Amino acid sequence: MEKRILEKEIIKVIKTIYDPEIPVDIYELGLIYDIKILDNYDVNILMTLTSPNCPVAESLPAEVEEKVGLIEIVNKSSVDLTFDPPWTKDMLSEEAMMELGMY
């Protein structure tokens, strides 16, 4: 499978995961900073949270890691959490802004 096709599949899976406090998926919220697919189909995801004190700081990255790891071709998935740069509302996609009535 081509990496760009796999990346689209990974994004599709990530878009099924929602921040419990905001009714928008974490991809459209701008919480996913980077998706790296290695040649052996290990996937490394760099993500953030809306705040360091987010109540799902433990469970949300684990959910991303687990669901991406369930994609058949993915060998292993891992998630690294960062707060640099910190998340801001400017990271919301147009879709998320419309969903939240911010347009």
Q: What is the pLDDT of residues 38-87, one digit of tens each?
A: 999 999 999 999 988 888 888 999 999 999 999 999 999 999 999 999 99
Task: Count structural domains, the chain.
Answer: 1
Query: Residue 55 is part of which domain span?
Result: 3-84
For residue 103, being part of any structural domain is answered with no
CATH of the domain at 51: 3.30.300.130
For residue 92, being part of any structural domain is answered with no
Three-state SS for 14?
Answer: helix
C-alpha to C-alpha distances, 35 to 69, 86, 101, nearest whole angstrom: 13, 18, 28
What's the predicted TM-score (pTM) here?
Answer: 0.93
